[in-house]
Structure formats: C-alpha cells, structure tokens
C-alpha cells in the first residue's frame, strides 16, 4: 500500500460520536430528527444503533446507546475511540436527575480526554429545568470542560445550534449556513398570515403588505419568488399551509437551500398537526411550533 493510500485512509475515517443517557431521554428521536427534519416516535433502543450522516464533507457515525440499566455497561467501551460524547438528559423529568448524575459520573475518566456536550432535551415542555439547575443537579461545575445545550427533539428547538457545536468540536470549523433568512411567515391556504418572526422588525409596513398580497396571488399560480428592493421573497406551499421567507439579496443567498429549509418547516408542521386533515386549524399551536422550529432558520 502506498503513502497516498495510507493518508487517504487516515483522513477518510468517519468521526465517531457517542450518544448516551437514561432511557426515554430522547436519543433515538434526536438521530431521527437529524435524518428526517421532524419528530417521529421511537421504541427504546436495545443495545446500540449506528447511523452515518455526512455534513459538509464530514462523515459522522452517530452511535445511539440504549439507556436501560441492562445496556449502560456498554457506554464506556464505546466511548474509548469516540471523538465526541453526547450525554442527553430529560430536562422535564427532574425526578431522574439523581440517577442521571450517577450514570454520568461513572464516565468521568472519559471527560479528561473527550469533549462532553450535555443535551438538555424536552425544552418544549413545562416545567423544565434551567441550565443552571441542570449544572447544579449533575455537578457539572466539577468537570473541567463541558457544554450544555437546551433542545427539543420533538419540535426541533435548538437542534441546528447544538449540531453546529458538535461539528465544531469534531472539525474545529464553523458549520457554514448558506441561507440566513431575515423573516419567516406561515399562512393558511387562503393566504391569511398565522404567525411571523423576523430579524430587525423588517416585516413592518409596506414590505409585509406586499408579502401578504403576493402570497394570496401565489396560491393558485406557479409564482414562488418576488424581489422587492434588496429583498427576495420566497413562497412555498404544502397541502394545508403556505410559508414564506425573506432573504437579503446581498448575502450571497442560495435559493435552492432556502427552498429546502422552507419545505422542511412546512412538512414538519403538517406532520405535527394531523388535525389539518380535518380542516381544523389551531393557530396557537402553529405559532408555537414555528417559534420552536425557527431557532434553526433565523
């Protein structure tokens, strides 16, 4: 084998990321959300499951370890050749914090050499422990280096931010975003706005009026893009909803990437709101889901 082949093999090795935590913390749901862009109910993982993802040229092996007591003895061995360790905790289930702490500290020898990221899941529920409360409960302040990130594997809250941190730990590089929308709006199929969120209040005044008019005209046509001044408005439709994002033209925008993001949001809303099939519209639910999911887009 030549030198080039050896070097190629070394650098072609997948990055191994181990995900552990108590049963019902949401580990498998996280992996599924990364694959599908929405929430899917999962049965408990038995033993371990491996999923490979490729993100901006980096191949990652995500090792999802079962959280039941019978499988926790596997954790330490799997971590020895891992490049990053994710410990997930159910931030809503404070009664199990003591058990989580016990299992976490059984792994303390690993934290001296491996980056540790605590994923505080279920931030879509109430009440939920604060980051400070989790740090105190798990005595994380005694660990020299860690990060704790609030997420929801059901609504998507904070998923991209968390994964960006993981990507940085693995590569030393920032996860680049090809699209940074200025505003996001969801409409019913009649073009009536249900909820909006934006940067710098750009949806005020004439731009929002132009947006709503364009959306109403677009529903029964093939129009899906409009330019107003320095802004580009992109509109997409799903079965029961419409969505729009506003992009700033000077930001080297990637229209295809923007369309993918908007389609994923609409698909997520359709999946999470089965009542839409019965022509029932829960505006407060839509608003909440968009607010949670938009943490990944804005």
Q: What is the pLDDT of residues 23-60, one digit of tens each?
A: 999 999 999 888 888 888 878 888 889 998 888 778 88
Q: Using CA atoms, how far apart are residues 206 and 199, in angstroms rounded to an integer? A: 16
Instruction: Output the CA angle 128-118-29, nearest 5 degrees.
Output: 75
16 and 141 both lie in a single domain? yes
216 and 272 both lie in a single domain? yes
111 and 162 both lie in a single domain? yes
Give the distance from CA 130 to its chain's centroid: 19
Q: Does residue 178 lie in a domain region?
A: no
Q: Does residue 60 lie in a domain region?
A: yes
Q: Does residue 1 lie in a domain region?
A: no
20 and 67 both lie in a single domain? yes
Q: Which residue has the tokens 């989580």?
A: 100
The mean predicted confidence, pLDDT, of the chain is 85
51 forms bridges with which residues in the sheet?
62
Q: Does residue 3 lie in a domain region?
A: no
Q: Using CA atoms, how far apart are residues 13 and 261, in angstroms rounded to an integer? A: 29
Q: Does residue 122 lie in a domain region?
A: yes
260 and 152 both lie in a single domain? no
Residue 148 banded pLDDT, cuts 50, 70, 90: very high
Residue 222 banded pLDDT, cuts 50, 70, 90: low
Q: Using CA atoms, how far apart are residues 98 and 203, in angstroms rounded to an integer? A: 46
The reported pTM is: 0.83
Backbone angles phi and psi of 11, in degrees to 5 = -85, -10
Give the CATH number, domain containing residue 97: 3.40.50.300
144 and 23 both lie in a single domain? yes
- Which of 36, 19, 37, 16 lies closest to 28, judged by CA? 19
Give the CATH number, domain containing residue 200: 3.30.450.50
Final residue in a domain of this structure, among 112, 141, 171: 171
- In the predicted structure, residue 21 carries a pLDDT above the cut 90: yes
Final residue in a domain of this structure, among 117, 136, 171: 171
pLDDT digits (tens, 9 = 90+) for 158-213: 998 888 888 888 888 877 766 677 888 999 988 888 998 877 666 666 677 777 77
Q: Does residue 260 lie in a domain region?
A: yes
Render the burial of 54-71: b for 16+ CB within 10 Å, e for the rest.
ebeeeebbbbbbbbeeeb
pLDDT at residue 221 in the model: 62
Residue 270 banded pLDDT, cuts 50, 70, 90: very high
Q: Does residue 207 lie in a domain region?
A: yes
For the four alpha carbons of 206, 211, 212 and 216, in that order, the dihedral sign comes to positive
Q: How many domains does the chain have?
A: 2
Range of the domain at 165: 8-171
């Amino acid at each position: 084998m030549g030198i080039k082949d050896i070097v190629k093999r070394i650098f072609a090795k997948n990055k191994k990321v181990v995900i552990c935590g108590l049963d019902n913390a949401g580990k498998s749901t996280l992996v599924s959300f990364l694959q599908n862009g929405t929430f899917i109910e999962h049965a408990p993982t038995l033993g371990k499951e491996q999923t490979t993802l490729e993100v901006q040229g980096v191949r990652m092996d995500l090792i999802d370890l079962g959280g039941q007591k019978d499988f926790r003895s596997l954790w330490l061995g799997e971590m020895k050749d891992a490049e990053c360790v994710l410990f997930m905790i159910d931030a809503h289930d404070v009664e199990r914090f003591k058990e989580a702490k016990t299992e976490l500290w059984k792994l303390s020898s690993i934290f001296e050499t491996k980056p540790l990221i605590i994923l505080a899941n279920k931030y879509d529920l109430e009440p939920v422990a604060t980051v400070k409360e989790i740090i105190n409960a798990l005595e994380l302040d005694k660990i020299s280096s860690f990060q704790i990130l609030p997420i929801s594997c059901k609504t998507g809250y904070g998923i991209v931010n968390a994964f960006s941190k993981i990507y940085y730990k693995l590569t030393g590089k920032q996860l680049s975003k090809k699209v940074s929308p200025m505003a996001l709006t969801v409409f019913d199929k009649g073009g009536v706005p249900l909820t909006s969120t934006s940067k710098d209040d750009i949806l005020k005044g004439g731009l929002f009026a132009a947006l709503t008019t364009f959306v109403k005209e677009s529903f029964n046509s093939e129009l899906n893009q409009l330019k107003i001044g320095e802004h580009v408005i992109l509109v997409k439709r799903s079965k029961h909803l419409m969505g729009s994002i506003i992009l700033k033209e000077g930001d080297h925008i990637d229209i295809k990437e923007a369309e993918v993001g908007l389609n994923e949001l609409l698909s997520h809303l359709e999946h999470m709101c089965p009542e839409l099939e019965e022509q029932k519209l829960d505006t407060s639910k839509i608003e909440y889901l968009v607010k949670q999911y938009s943490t990944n887009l804005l």
